[in-house]
Structure 1
Amino acid sequence: MVKRWRTSDVLMDTFIYGSLAILSFLSLYPFWNAIVIAFNQGSDTALGGLTFWPRAFTLDNFKVILSDTRFFNAMGISLARTIVGTFFSIFFTALLAYGLSKRGIVGRNVYMMIAIFTMYFQGGLIPTYLWLRELGMFNNFWVLFVPFLVTVWNMIVFRTFFQQIPAGLEESAKMDGCTNYGVFFRVVIPLSGPVIATLSLFQAVFFWNEWFNAGIYINNTNLLPVQNYLVNLINSNSSQEMLAELSNVPGGAGDAVNRSITPKSLQMTALIVVSMPIIMVYPFVQKFFVKGVLIGSLKE
């Protein structure tokens, strides 16, 4: 049987897909334009009119960025922070959520109210600054992720998911001799793959992009993550100083500077290089998104 399309259906489909196409273009074009600028000579970019394709293709911008040892040091700090911070944040958040998902916990509602209160009201910048100073976390790698070990929103998502796990599974495990920790690690965690993958990605993106705390609590340039490197590079003075330093280096970097590298081309190149690692992670966890975002929306 041939399906007949009504005029109203065709118009509605055209409007929906057309709107989605326009929104997709508006969302993706700035990133694409940054890629075009990164692969184009800086002096040519300054002339304007650069849209979809490089007019004067070059790899010199990448040579300059990749010849800077500070960039690789910052990348290493960001990778270590993202991996270690995400692991411990998900672990402690899931552990807290599992405890608060049990109805027999004394004062469970009080603990939940306290946790939710901290989600809306915080101590403020100055008290947090004094608190971290007293803990000895200034110019310390730990300050990059310890203040974010427990995220209340993630805890609520974990708690909702844990409440949907059939109680019979945990009871069976306890009858076989499992303790509460045994149930958590051997039963609950293996069943929580979608929520762990989804929240881990969100937390990893946060740790990768976060730069404000590092700018406040870290003065040692060797401990600054790559986002702070990018922030410093966006400052035109820092870009000019970097170009001046690299122009004195014999070989590739110095030659690249002589071929009209500009601060803007460096900024766009650094932006692309910094964004690629976290973008490459998305395809591997995409299959968990549908399950993860629907957590708590359906009940058996």
Structure 2
Amino acid sequence: MNFLKRRTKSEAIFDTVNIIIMLVICFITIYPIWYTIVNSFNEGQDAMRGGIYWWPRKFTLQNYVAVFSNSGIVKALGVTVAKTVIGTVVHVFFTAMVAYALSKKDLIGRNIYTTLGLITLFFSGGLIPLYLLIKSLGLLDNFLVYIIPAAFSFYDLLIFKSFFSQIPASLEEAARIDGASDFKIFVRVVIPLSLPVIATIALFHGVYQWNDYFTGMIYINKNDLQPIQTYLYKVVAQAGANSVSANMPGAVGATTVTQQTIKLATMVVTTFPIVCVYPFLQKYFVKGMLLGSVKG
């Protein structure tokens, strides 16, 4: 009995220490986000005094009015939404289609294709050859530069392939007896059964497309085609932030809005949509990762 009591006490101490550590980690992770949100809702001139940690001292929406009144930010946000939606749909469909083919053991050259794909996971040509390739394809200053190069990922293919290999062959055989082609089986049978792994890959690639600023910085010179993350990168990189304040009403910029609070408001605007989407896909994300990792 004494042993059980000592053990129970030790477990309670262990759990308490774990809870404290996890709370500290959660605080360290969440507080910077909260600090950004709080200051983005505070008057700019007042925020320069500092001392704002938990709640806005002088609440205002002028920072967000200034952000959305800037035509450059609105256009960049539209480009980001378009490339995220289109890019994710193309990536998921194309990668799943290739993975479905490679999941078939009777595919001619299957091992060769798999080996070539595995090599790309560890080696790449580098940025300069990739830039020259993008240029030769005519994708510089082209919206398709966000879509075509990212249409396929061998890492995502491995997850798809592991999932497809678990689908009973009898379902496909039944559809083939009914006269369905391989493509029709893929669309009508395989895709509906693969929603968990599709949601997983869609979340992976959707977050990548939304957060990607590098593509717009390297391959795009036209301001109308730059995504919000590239726009934000330039705003943060430029101490003067002239690109943001140029289109703001003079009265607003002179009284309540500062360059720092506009940066914070822009960060919140770019982060909020993807944060809202994640909770709805989380259950599919966890399930898809588990199912896709059972077999290799």
TM-score by length of 2: 0.93
Describe how 1:204-219 pairs up with structure 2 within 5 A.
204-219=206-221
Question: Could you report, residue by residue, the CA deviation over 1:114-171 in whole angstroms, capped at 9, with x for unpaired residues?
Answer: 0111121111111111111111111100011211110111100000000111111111
Alpha carbons of 1:123 and 1:274: their partners in 2 closer, same or farther (altered >3 Å)?
A: same
Describe how 1:1-300 pairs up with structure 2 within 5 A.
6-237=8-239, 239-246=241-248, 253-298=249-294
Secondary structure at the counterpart of residue 49 of structure 2? coil
2:50 maps to amino acid = G
Contact kept in structure 2, 1:36 and 1:54, CA below 8 Å = yes
1:215 maps to amino acid = M
Query: 2:247 & 2:186 partners in 1: Cα distance?
Result: 54
Alpha carbons of 1:32 and 1:105: their partners in 2 closer, same or farther (altered >3 Å)?
A: same
Secondary structure at the counterpart of residue 50 of structure 1? coil
Seq. identity, %? 41
Alpha carbons of 1:77 and 1:203: their partners in 2 closer, same or farther (altered >3 Å)?
A: same
Contact kept in structure 2, 1:81 and 1:145, CA below 8 Å = yes
Q: Which moved more, 1:280-289 or 1:149-158?
A: 280-289
Secondary structure at the counterpart of residue 103 of structure 1? coil
Structure 1 stretches lacking a partner, 5+ long: 247-252
CA drift at 1:261: 2.0
CA drift at 1:12: 1.9
Following TM superposition, where does structure 1 have runs of at least 4 consecutive aligned residues deviating by more than 6 angstroms? none
Contact kept in structure 2, 1:194 and 1:288, CA below 8 Å = yes
Q: How many matched pairs? A: 291
Structure 2 stretches lacking a partner, 5+ long: none
Contact kept in structure 2, 1:232 and 1:238, CA below 8 Å = no
What is the alpha-carbon root mean square deviation over aligned residues?
1.7
Alpha carbons of 1:156 and 1:256: their partners in 2 closer, same or farther (altered >3 Å)?
A: same
